[in-house]
Chains A and B, each alone.
Chain A
Amino acid sequence: MTQQSLPETFRLRASNFNLLVLRLLDPRPDAVLPSLSDQFRRAPGFLRFAPIVVGLSDLVAAPEEVDFRGLIEGLHALEIVPVGTTGGSPAMRQAAQAAGLPPLRTSGGKDEDGPVEQARPQAQAQVQPVAVAAAPAPAAPVVDFRGTGRAAMLVTDPVRAGQRIYAEGADMVVTTTVNPGAEVLADGNIHVYGALRGRAIAGAQGDTSARVFALNFDPELIAIAGYYAVRDGLGHAPIGKPVQTRLEGEEMRFEKLG
């Protein structure tokens, strides 16, 4: 379930692909490759020229112990095409990248085979422009976080009617208000330390664990991972209070904070 952008001749379009993940359990190519080739001999053509992603989370080894170049060569010899990595420590991903395997980000913003809490902020610091699983072309301005070591976009001016701000692959922290007619989107959580009077869309790429926090909860619309509620449907929510909104299954919960 990895998302990847492929360059067309003239245009760049985001697209979703189902990819197989090869989760490495052993750092040595000469141990992995023979058993791999063994398995594929039993299912000939099954993986021929198939792109796969190398999963690094289960690997118990230091980055310098892993021979990524050898692995890539070996996979090519088996007519398997590794396209990137997922999970693993930043150092591990960096080692893989040096060998030509960029880290990919899964569409939910979390790594399928890695601990969520760790993977998200780290992924931000590590993502390289080419390797980033592209979001559906955002219509909103996007702030570049690479190199800042931060996985949150900080908004300090009031978000005004007609404005739309998108924190791609990150949380958003708004220190003032989101006014009626404004829209804030984030792939992660949204925090508003003022009044939330416009629209808030968290988990914009489908992360159902994303939440919306607001000191003064008074939104026009609130959405998490595609589930949404308009103001008219918020009758039972504590309007005007500090509230966190989260998904529980398919149900949106509004809980008073503090």
Chain B
Amino acid sequence: MAEVIVVTSGKGGVGKTTTSAAFATGLAQRNKKTVVIDFDVGLRNLDLIMGVERRVVFDIVNVIQGEARLNQALIRDKRVDTLSILPASQTRDKDALTKEGVQQIIEELSKEFDYILCDSPAGIEKGALLALYFADQAIVVTNPEVSSVRDSDRILGVLQSKSKRAEDKREKVKEHLLVTRYDPGRVERGEMLKLDDIQEILAIPLLGVIPESESVLRASNTGMPVILDPESTAGQAYKDTVGRFLGENLPHRFLDPAKKGGLFKRLFGGRTA
């Protein structure tokens, strides 16, 4: 049986898709058979971040509506061969998704894969609810700012009341906190929430902290998951995050303002790569 992981946040623009792409790639690099599903029907992005947009023929809605077989819609990644992508439809809306359809897809994928990552759309409406409904574990992506923390808190409540595990009264969905776009310098200046403040509110185990990094935008625009960029601090942090998820005991890095740039770089607004 595959483990179903939802990447969710409530709020938009915090890095769910970036995280889904990086995390799925990271798991696949560890030889785990991994598939990542884009649930953002109508606003699909995952295929772009993964750099497979030119290879999309069928999508999740085609599969649900019986217009294509699952194997026809799955796109195998060219860089990591244990990784597959199931894209969302760009031309439909979330109403095209049904619980039964999603269940069928997840059951079928379960036979073949170790991990099924569900990249949730923002909000707490149908798309987001379906993305988290079948989850065994949840990665809650949060930015160090109050509105993001509030929305993450909301989605944690939804996870514990509206997921299938909650409805079946089984063991609850395992929650992981992933703080993204963390800028230690701005935290130090009081412009961003401290890690402790976020953890105090959300009260779930911390899986990782991804530093704010220009390499993320560059990676997105070139369709290469940032975890494949060995120079990037964000990519390294995602690698650590995947390791921790698989049970390794790794310290959190990139929590302090970068010092190696020296006084000069800091004075002139140097940023981490």
Are B203 and A162 interface neighbours, CB within 8 A? no
Contact A163 B203, CB 8 Å, known A180-B150, A181-B150: no
B157→A162 contact, CB < 8 A: yes
B125 interface contact, C-beta 8 A: no
Q: A176-B203, A177-B203, A179-B201 are in contact. Are A162 and B160 (CB under 8 A)?
A: no
Query: Closest residue to A159 on the B side, CB-wise?
Result: B157
Tell me if B32 counts as interface (CB < 8 A to partner A).
Answer: no
Q: A179-B201, A180-B201 are in contact. Are A157 and B154 (CB under 8 A)?
A: no
In the assembled complex, A195 has its CB within 8 A of some CB on chain B: yes
Nearest to A157 among chain B residues (CB) is B160
- Complex CA gap A162/B156 in Å reads 10
B-contacting residues, A104-127, CB 8 Å: none
Q: How far does the Cβ of A192 sit from chain B's closest Cβ, in whole Å? A: 14
Query: Within the assembled complex, what's the spacing in Å between the Cα atoms of A62 and B202?
Result: 54
Contact status A195-B200, CB under 8 Å: yes
- B153 at the binding interface (Cβ < 8 Å): yes
Chain A positions within 8 Å of B151 at CB level: 161
Q: Does A158 contact B (CB under 8 A)?
A: yes
Please report which residues of chain B, range 40-85, place their CB below 8 angstroms from some CB of chain A when the two chains form the complex: none
A48 at the interface (CB under 8 A from B): no
In the complex, what residues of A have CB within 8 A of residue B158's CB? 162
With beta carbons under 8 angstroms apart, the residue of A162, A176, A177, A197 that contacts B154 is A162
Q: Which residues of B contact A161 (CB under 8 A)?
A: 150-151, 153-154, 157
A182 to B156, CA, bound (A): 12
Bound complex: CA A180 to CA B150 (Å): 7
* Chain A 67-98 residues near chain B, CB threshold 8 A: none
Give the size of the chain A interface in residues (CB under 8 angstroms).
14
Chain A nearest CB, measured from B214 CB (Å): 32
Q: How far is the CA of A180 from the CA of B200 in the complex (A)?
A: 12
Chain B residue nearest in CB terms to A197: B201
B159 to A, closest residue via Cβ: A160
| Chain A facing B: main interface SS | loop
CA distance A195 to B153 in the complex (A): 15
Encode A160-177 as 1/0 by CB contact (under 8 A) with B.
111100000000000011
Q: Are A160 and B200 neighbours in the complex by a CB distance under 8 Å?
A: no
Contacts of A160 in B (CB 8 A): 153-154, 156-157
Rounded to whole Å, the gap between the CB of B168 and the closest CB of chain A is 18
Contact of A158 among B146, B150, B203 (CB under 8 A): B203
Residues of A within 8 A of B156 (CB): 158, 160
Closest Cβ neighbor of A195 among chain B residues: B200
Contacts of A197 in B (CB 8 A): 201
Q: Which residues of A contact B200 (CB under 8 A)?
A: 177, 195
- For B150, list chain A residues within 8 Å (CB): 161, 179-181
Q: Name, among B151, B157, B201, B203, the residue most crowded by chain A CB atoms within 10 Å (CB to CB).
A: B157
User: Roughly how many angstroms separate A251 CA and B226 CA in the complex, as a whole number?
Assistant: 57
What CA separation (Å) do A61 and B153 show in the bound complex?
Answer: 55
Residues from chain B with a CB closer than 8 A to the CB of A180 are 146, 150, 153, 201
Mask: chain A, 176-210; 1 = CB below 8 Å from B; 0 = not: 11011110000000000001010000000000000
Bound CA span A176–B199, Å: 13
Q: How far is the CA of A247 from the CA of B127 in the complex (A)?
A: 46
Min CB distance, B111 to chain A, in Å?
34
Q: Are A181 and B160 in contact (CB under 8 A)?
A: no
Question: What A residues does B202 contact at CB under 8 A?
Answer: 158
List residues of chain A with CB within 8 A of the CB of B157. Answer: 160-163, 182
Of residues A163, A176, A182, which shows the largest number of chain B Cβ atoms within 10 Å of its Cβ? A163
Q: Whole-angstrom distance between the alpha carbons of A176 and B200 in the complex?
A: 10
Residue of A nearest to B158 (CB): A162
| A179 to B10 CA separation, bound complex (whole angstroms) | 16
Within 8 A of A (CB), among B63-121: none
Residues of chain B touching chain A, judged by Cβ–Cβ distance below 8 Å, are 146, 150-151, 153-154, 156-158, 160, 200-203
* 13 residue pairs A–B, Cβ–Cβ below 8 Å: A157-B160, A158-B156, A158-B202, A158-B203, A160-B154, A161-B150, A161-B154, A162-B153, A162-B158, A177-B201, A180-B146, A181-B153, A182-B153
Given A158-B156, A180-B201, 20 new contacts (CB under 8 A) = A158-B153, A158-B203, A160-B153, A160-B156, A160-B157, A161-B151, A161-B153, A161-B154, A161-B157, A162-B154, A162-B157, A163-B157, A177-B200, A177-B201, A179-B201, A181-B153, A181-B154, A182-B153, A182-B157, A197-B201
